[in-house]
Structure 1
Amino acid sequence: MTRVALISSKGLMTHEVQMTPERKTMSTRAIQTLKKAQLPFEVITYTHKEKGAAFAAQAMGFPLERTVKTLIADLGGRRYMAALLPGNTQLDLKKLARVFHTKHASMADASTAERLTGYLVGGISPFGLKQPLESVIDSPIMNYETVVINGGRRGVMLKIAPSDILLALKCAVAEIGR
């Protein structure tokens, strides 16, 4: 375990997280996908108690804006996609619809998201999806050297460069948050 410190509005807080640079100890489809692509990343585990980027960021001691969440959206006509956003940002469905040249976009329900990705909600990663989906990354994410993103299991995050996310997903970059 590694103890990390985070300064917040509540003062100095410390958290214990498990950082695993050796990728052999944990394996998910997401981790296997990144290993196969030979992209650098670190595995970070934490005790998962509730869903959401805010909890994950706090549990790991990472800034919320550098904690990337993966949301599955319905573009209509049985067309779905993955949207990657900072944890402190909401998905703007109108912007998303414009990016994908469709009239409407809505959030996929939890059961659809789980069926398409093969991951449980709270553990959805954009890597190693059960069914390949188009993806877009919110442009502010690209301002950071590294971010953390779900590793395909609740309580498993991957520390990775946004440029490596682009390489792995071959996705678009657009302003889709608000």
Structure 2
Amino acid sequence: MKIEHAPETPATKYLKAHKVAFSSHLYAYEEHGGTKVSARELNVDEHAVVKTLVMEDEHAKPLIVLMHGDCKVSTKELARQAGCKKIEPCKPEVANRHTGFLVGGTSPFGTKKAMPVFIEKSILAESVIYINGGRRGYLVGIHPHDLMQVLKPTVVEVALEA
């Protein structure tokens, strides 16, 4: 079996530059498979797989929301906690423009544009989270504490059961 080397992406470069310890996890990416597929492939709980969602407020200002793979975001509650009128997901091509990553490979690390980041509070209770490493089929395992240090996200409580 050929062992694939972890790809070098803007996200991994960012993590290395900020001296964040991470583990690399490559898996067979499935179109529209989402966190269910990555959790299955990595044999981890989907709750520990964190999605990077690119959204925008009523002024089309982008922001990132980090959410458990098995949860949805209450955009109404997020808007309230973020002090916006409304927040909705960006179109994939808009998200791509803001982040420089393809949808399915979006990482909160090393984005093209600096954007405010919001994180679901309960993610901080995980011992390790698996989050996109900057390309499809590639997650990095990191400690939530390290994510808090480098991204300085705003902690919110906006999770809905999916």
Return the TM-score normalized by structure 2: 0.93
Aligned: 1:80 with 2:62: yes
CA distance in 2, matches of 1:131, 1:148: 22
Q: Is the 8 A contact 1:19 1:42 kept in 2?
A: no
Structure of higher CA gyration radius = 1
Aligned: 1:137 with 2:119: yes
C-alpha displacement at 1:78, in angstroms?
Answer: 2.7
Question: Higher relative CO (CA 8 A, sep ≥ 6), structure 1 or 2?
Answer: 2
What does residue range 82-97 of structure 1 map to in structure 2 within 5 Å? Answer: 82-97=64-79
CA distance in 2, matches of 1:56, 1:65: 11
Q: Which structure shows the bigger proportion of residues in strand conformation? A: 1
Secondary structure at the residue paired with 1:40?
Answer: coil
Structure 2 stretches of 5 or more lacking a match? none
CA distance in 1, matches of 2:68, 2:116: 18
Return the TM-score normalized by structure 1: 0.85
Q: Is the 8 A contact 1:64 1:86 kept in 2?
A: yes
Match of 2:17 in 1: 36
Specify the code of the residue in structure 2 equivalent to 1:79: K
Match of 2:28 in 1: 47
Match of 1:156 in 2: 138
Match of 2:90 in 1: 108
Structure 1 stretches of 5 or more lacking a match? 2-17
Moved >4 Å (runs of 4+): none
CA distance in 2, matches of 1:30, 1:60: 19
Specify the code of the residue in structure 2 equivalent to 1:29: P
Question: Which deviations, in whole Å up to 9, do the C-alpha atoms of 1:110-137 show, x marking residues without a partner?
Answer: 1111111000000000000011110011
C-alpha displacement at 1:74, in angstroms?
Answer: 1.0
Over the matched positions of the two proteins, sequence identity in percent amounts to 32
Q: In the alignment, which of 108, 123, 137 is matched to residue 105 of structure 2?
A: 123
C-alpha displacement at 1:43, in angstroms?
Answer: 0.8
